[in-house]
Amino acid sequence: MSAAVLRQQQLDAEGFSVCLPFQTDHYNAAIADVAPGLVTRLPPGQCAVLLGNTRASWPRFLRTWKHDPSLRASSDPFDRWVEQTLTRLIPDVAERDWYWGHAPVGERPSLLHAASAAGIPAGPAWIAAHPDYGPWFALRAVVILRHVNAPSAPATMSDMDGPCDSCRTKPCRHALEQVRARSKATVRDTGDFGDDWQDWVRIRDACPVGQAWRYDNPQLEYHYTKRRAILDTAAEEL
């Protein structure tokens, strides 16, 4: 897949360093057992790319949010910034089909299943762990690239030297069990974590991989709680 199609350097500069191609048929096979209506299927026989960000996106977002009235007026400014940034960096929208992770239930793909199709299956705590970033990245979107050859075989974790299979102690599993015992949220909850959000962060903290990529506290709190006051404070501290 050519760099001209994906503009990887520009994506990296905005913090979107997770850029993983996969075949849509492999994704569709992976969601075969998911209850109908929960996730959307992808067009068959196409090349897709799973896109995600690291902590590096946070200051770029804050600088834009600080000076962009449309973001400040948005009900979810980070999701809007994600859409604006990715569609700008991967142009020719007429030749692309976008599937956003923040779309309503039933209209969005399962990004965890897409990650599995791209070679990063969910770990013991149902969190995908990247070989470099560990659990400290966020999956944001799938883009279908028409007229681009799709991978002929499913990606495998061994292709990327993934961390979960070689992890003997599985500390994230123990952390998950502790959180499940006392939290009102569930492991698959994608809504408001409320006052339990710090417990769920501990599951990610338990992973020994990618700790240098851990989000700072304002970024963590915003992503888990969506409290807009955090943005004002964080933007002023840039």
Q: Are 40 and 142 in contact (CB under 8 A)?
A: no
In this prediction the pTM is 0.89
The pLDDT, as a whole number, for residue 153 is: 59
Lowest mean pLDDT among 4-13, 17-26, 76-85, 172-181: 4-13
Closest CA to 156 of 22, 28, 10: 22
How many Cα atoms are found within 13 Å in the side-chain-facing hemisphere of 81?
Answer: 23
Q: How does pLDDT run across 129-182, given as a tens digit for each residue?
A: 999 999 999 999 999 988 787 666 565 544 556 788 888 899 999 999 988 887
Question: CA 111 to CA 142: how far, in whole Å?
Answer: 8
Lowest mean pLDDT among 26-30, 56-60, 191-195: 191-195
Give the residue with greater pLDDT, 147 vs 115. Answer: 115
The pLDDT, as a whole number, for residue 191 is: 54
Question: CA 115 to CA 106: how far, in whole Å?
Answer: 18
The pLDDT, as a whole number, for residue 182 is: 76
Residue with tokens 């599951």: 203
Which range marks the domain in which residue 188 is found? 3-236
Closest CA to 49 of 17, 85, 75: 17
Q: Count structural domains, the chain.
A: 1
Q: Per-residue pLDDT for 2 more than 60?
A: no
